Structure 1
Amino acid sequence: MSKTQVKTTVIINPKSSNGATGKNIDYIKNIVKKLDNPEIIITTSKNQATDITQKAILNGTEKIIAVGGDGTINEIINGFFMEEKIINPNVIFGILPCGTGSDFIRTLHLPKNNNKVIEKILENKTKLIDIGKANYSDLNHQAKTRFFINASNIGIGGEVVDRVNQTSKIFGGFASFLVGTILSIMDYKNKKVRITFDHEQKIEFTTINIVVGNGQFCGGGMKFLPDSSIDDGLFDILLIGDLSK
């Protein structure tokens, strides 16, 4: 395809929703074909959606549509950036929900019917939303940067997500995260942290988890941040103290 032909790039994660997306791939393809001349790409490996997004934007696509859950959404959002700078601020991002947790779409109040979601996308009504940026060191002590549109956890939350992602998620989002939380609590040690607000105010305490939120939901539907808004220019923060087992 030439650069001018592709207006919409649809990125499908077949492993999302415990593999249900892959089993229904023909049905999903028929739905997304209603979009403007879509190029449909199916991911085959973790983090591939980030590279696909970057290449599609550089090749001139006008819309990126994620078909998957929160993990797929996060990979694609990071593909909007190169060297920590947004590639093209005019590219539109849309979501066709197909995930286990699907926490971000709960904040968006998207229709449950996928055909109606496609109709919403075709209306071309957009909203400018906030994006978070996290600078951190990975397990190999290498400096990393990632962007997020829903929430970022510091503490046990990250371990829970990692544990859940290693399971089949056969029992759905809430139950998977609940079991993951219980198992993680058994051997998790609370951490001492120092937080600086607005470059001035500092607090130090021991915590089991901190949630920095743009969206309202985490952990498969738990409404941790009910007052959070994705377009108010602010993050909501949930600080959980030194809880014992």
Structure 2
Amino acid sequence: MTRKIAAIVNPYSGGGKTGRAWPAIEKKLTRALGPLTAYMTEGAATPHHLPAAGPTAKALKDGADLVIAVGGDGTINEVVNGFFEGGKPINPEAAFAFLNTGTGGDFRKTFGYDGTLDEAIEKLGQAEASPIDIGRLTFIAEDGRETARYFDNIASFGLSGAVDRAVNKAGISKLLGGKFAFFWGTLKTVLTYRPQAVRVTTDSGFDEVRNISTLAVANGRFFGGGMMMAPHAKPDDGLFDIVMMCDTTFKDMFSSSGSLYEGTHLANPKVTSLQAKVLEARPADANEIVLLDIDGEAPGRLPARFEIMPAALKLFR
């Protein structure tokens, strides 16, 4: 059966490299998969506007049965959001794929995609669709409105949300690669960041107030430009892996930054890990602002509710 393929392209990702490379990428994708329709995203993302979500929804409503995100982790997240409308998938039979051409490249690492772009395109030519879980998050946007959003990889809060803001304002550091950008952002931010008291409750019975440095609600394994935050996470097991780093100091972060990249930080007594389908978090002090990170973007703050949606999306891999 002939597929109807759409590519949702963020020409600004990777410092504009994606847009410049797109004509060559399009030719290679067409050779590997067949004819496709390209949609270019426009404008910057806001908590209430995801530039790639609208074109994705349009492509699906026009009959696309394979939608490929071409860009960074933020673009991938936006395309995933475009698959859903009113809390339900627009086309449950349609498949999702991605080509990571942006700064971070964290989501792909869970699936072992560390090769070149040409190798990734070759894999797509031989891929099949299989279901993965998706996270749904309700939170408070920067303008104070309650907002819902989906995430494919990791949503977190605390230091990670503050790092996102630093990275997204970094400019030149992003041009030097995702790993450097997020390491630089972490190093800069941790100098002034202090753990924040947050009440965390889960459907699996956890209910405590913890001094959170970073809490990650993980569907995938990596975030922050290659940090293996949740080394045991599986995006198709119907559960979040939750990793809480509590009372972390500058010395802890600096001395253990390597273990985050290796995934050995779970042995640290300041780290708690558990699994759950639902997590709710709110500041112990209602006046405290605790920032969120959603797949590398910082659109808002707590209180928030994280819910797993088992087998909600077919990934072409």
Note the 1:10-25 alignment, pairs <5 A: 10-25=7-22
Note the 1:40-55 alignment, pairs <5 A: 40-46=38-44, 47-55=50-58
Question: How far apart, in 2, do the equivalents of 1:186 and 1:83 lie?
Answer: 41
Question: How far apart, in 2, do the equivalents of 1:116 and 1:199 lie?
Answer: 41
The alignment status of 1:26 with 2:31, answered yes or no, reads: no
The alignment status of 1:224 with 2:222, answered yes or no, reads: no
Instruction: Tell me what 2:107 maps to.
Output: 104
Which of 150, 158, 179 aligns to 2:184? It is 179
Instruction: Tell me what 2:146 maps to.
Output: 143
Task: Give CA deviations for 1:183-209 in whole Å, capped at 9, x if unaligned.
Answer: 222333322111112164311111111
Deviation at 1:32, TM superposition (A): 2.1
The alignment status of 1:60 with 2:63, answered yes or no, reads: yes
Secondary structure at the residue paired with 2:217?
strand
Task: Give CA deviations for 1:87-109 in whole Å, capped at 9, x if unaligned.
Answer: 11111101112121100001111
The alignment status of 1:8 with 2:5, answered yes or no, reads: yes
The TM-score, its normalising length taken from structure 2, stands at 0.72
Is the contact made by 2:3 and 2:66 (CA closer than 8 Å) also made in structure 1?
no
Question: How far apart, in 2, do the equivalents of 1:142 and 1:182 lie?
Answer: 31
The TM-score, its normalising length taken from structure 1, stands at 0.92
Instruction: Tell me what 2:137 maps to.
Output: 134
The alignment status of 1:215 with 2:213, answered yes or no, reads: no
Question: How far apart, in 1, do the equivalents of 2:166 and 2:113 lie?
Answer: 28
Task: Please identify, of 209-218 and 22-31, the stretch whose mean Cα deviation from structure 2 is larger.
Answer: 22-31
Secondary structure at the residue paired with 1:55?
helix
Is the contact made by 1:6 and 1:60 (CA closer than 8 Å) also made in structure 2?
no
Question: How far apart, in 2, do the equivalents of 1:206 and 1:173 lie?
Answer: 28
Deviation at 1:211, TM superposition (A): 0.6
Secondary structure at the residue paired with 1:17?
coil
Which of 189, 192, 199 aligns to 1:194? It is 199
Secondary structure at the residue paired with 1:187?
coil
The alignment status of 1:244 with 2:249, answered yes or no, reads: yes
Instruction: Tell me what 2:121 maps to.
Output: 118
Deviation at 1:76, TM superposition (A): 0.5
Moved over 6 A (4+): none
> Taking CA–CA contacts closer than 8 Å with sequence separation of 6 or more, which of the two structures ends up with the larger relative contact order?
2
- Normalized per residue, the structure richer in strand is 2
Which of 34, 37, 51 aligns to 2:35? It is 37
Deviation at 1:17, TM superposition (A): 1.7
Deviation at 1:111, TM superposition (A): 5.7
Instruction: Tell me what 2:289 maps to.
Output: none
Is the contact made by 1:63 and 1:94 (CA closer than 8 Å) also made in structure 2?
yes
Percent identity reads 36
Task: Please identify, of 181-190 and 53-62, the stretch whose mean Cα deviation from structure 2 is larger.
Answer: 181-190
Question: How far apart, in 2, do the equivalents of 1:124 and 1:221 lie?
Answer: 24
Is the contact made by 1:49 and 1:75 (CA closer than 8 Å) also made in structure 2?
yes
Structure 2 residue runs of 5 or longer lacking an equivalent are 45-49, 251-317
Deviation at 1:63, TM superposition (A): 0.6
Which of 223, 227, 235 aligns to 2:240? It is 235
Question: How far apart, in 1, do the equivalents of 2:142 and 2:120 lie?
Answer: 38
Task: Please identify, of 35-44 and 215-224, the stretch whose mean Cα deviation from structure 2 is larger.
Answer: 35-44
Structure 1 residue runs of 5 or longer lacking an equivalent are none
Question: How far apart, in 1, do the equivalents of 2:93 and 2:68 lie?
Answer: 14
Question: How far apart, in 2, do the equivalents of 1:43 and 1:142 lie?
Answer: 25
